[in-house]
Amino acid sequence: MKERLLVPERMDDPSLDPVEHRRALRGLRRVNLLCQTGKHLAREIIAISKQRGLNFVRVLDLGCGSGDVATDIGSRLDGKLDFSIEGWDISSTAVDAARIALKSTNERLTRGSIAFRQCDVFQATEERFDIVYCCLFLHHFSEEQAVELLKRMKGLAVQAVLVDDLVRSQLGLRLAQLGCHLLSRSPVVHFDGPQSVRAAFTENEACGLASQAGMKVLSLRRHWPERYLMRWDTPQ
C-alpha cells in the first residue's frame, strides 16, 4: 500500500496561495523539460495514430497543470500529423498560466491547435477524444479515486489511454529530492516532488487499478528518470 501524507503545502491543495502556485508551476515546467515527458508521450501518440490509421488525432490531457506537457507534445506532433490537444484542470491559476504560455506556441503550429479549459475531470460530458492521457496526476488520488479516474479516462477515449507517472523507488526519491532543489526555489516543489514519489503507485498497483477500471490488457514500460508509461488500447 502506498504512503499517504496530507499537508497544507501541496501542489494539489486548493487553498495554496496563487503566487506560490504559479511559482511551483514554473518549477514543475523545468522538471518536465529535463525529464522529456512530452517526448515520451508524443512518441506513443504518433505510434497509436499510425497503428490505427488516424489522419487527425484529438488528444485530451487530464490534470494539465500549466500546460507545458501539452504544448511540448503539440510542438513534437506538428509536421507529423494533424491534431488538436485540449487540457483540463480544476485550478483556474493553472489554466490561466497555461493560456498565457500557449499564445506563442499556437502561432508557430502549422498542423494543429492546443486549448485549455478549467474543468473538473470527473464532470459529465458527451465529448470523446482519440487519446486521453494524464501525467504526474494519478498519484494524487486514493486507490478508489484512481480507479474512478481510470474509468473516466476509459470512457472518454476512442483509441487509447496513456498514464505517465512516478516509479516509487529509493532512486526515484533521491532524484526527486536533488532535481526539485536544483530546478526550483519553490518550497512547494521541494516538498511535493519527493512526497509524490512516496505517494506513487507501484507499477503492479497501477496495473491492478487499471484492471479494476476495465482495462484488462495493457502495456507498461519504464523510462528515465524513474517514470513509467502505461498504455491501454481500446479493442478494435
Taking only the tens place, the pLDDT of each residue in 148-160 is 999 999 999 999 9
Give me the percent of the chain exceeding a pLDDT of 70: 82
For residues 34-53, give the mean pLDDT.
94
The whole-angstrom separation of Cα 98 and Cα 16 is 17
What is the sign of the dihedral through the CA atoms of 190, 202, 146 and 64? positive
**pLDDT over threshold 90, residue 165:** yes
Q: Flag whether 8 is in a domain.
A: no
Name the residue among 176, 165, 161 with its Cα closest to residue 217.
161
The whole-angstrom separation of Cα 180 and Cα 196 is 12
Q: Flag whether 12 is in a domain.
A: no
Quote the pLDDT of residue 149: 98
Quote the pLDDT of residue 105: 82
pLDDT digits (tens, 9 = 90+) for 168-226: 988 878 867 776 666 666 777 667 777 888 889 999 999 999 999 999 889 999 998 89
The answer to whether 193 and 199 are in contact (CB under 8 A) is: no
Q: Flag whether 187 is in a domain.
A: yes
The answer to whether 211 and 224 are in contact (CB under 8 A) is: no
Quote the pLDDT of residue 185: 66
For the ranges 25-39, 43-57, 74-88, 192-206, the lowest mean pLDDT is seen at 25-39
Q: Flag whether 9 is in a domain.
A: no
Quote the pLDDT of residue 183: 66
**pLDDT over threshold 70, residue 129:** yes
Give me the percent of the chain exceeding a pLDDT of 90: 61
Q: Flag whether 32 is in a domain.
A: yes
Cis upstream peptide for 187 (omega within 30°): no
Angle between helices 92-108 and 18-35 (to 10 degrees): 50
- Provide the CATH number for the domain around residue 24: 3.40.50.150
The whole-angstrom separation of Cα 123 and Cα 88 is 11
What are the DSSP calls for 150-205, one per residue?
A: HHHHHHHEEEEEEEEEE--SHHHHHHHHHHHHHH---HHHHHHHHHHHHHPPPHHH
**pLDDT over threshold 70, residue 78:** yes
The model's pTM: 0.87
Quote the pLDDT of residue 36: 86
The whole-angstrom separation of Cα 47 and Cα 69 is 18
Angle between helices 187-199 and 170-183 (to 10 degrees): 170
Kind and range of the H or E run holding 93: helix 92-108
Q: Flag whether 2 is in a domain.
A: no
**pLDDT over threshold 60, residue 11:** no
What is the number of structural domains in the chain?
1
For residues 73-102, give the mean pLDDT.
93
Q: Which three cell numbers stand for residue 46?
A: 504518433
For residues 60-82, give the mean pLDDT.
94
Quote the pLDDT of residue 179: 65
**pLDDT over threshold 80, residue 92:** yes
The whole-angstrom separation of Cα 194 and Cα 177 is 6
Q: Flag whether 7 is in a domain.
A: no
Which domain range does residue 171 map to? 18-233
Quote the pLDDT of residue 3: 44
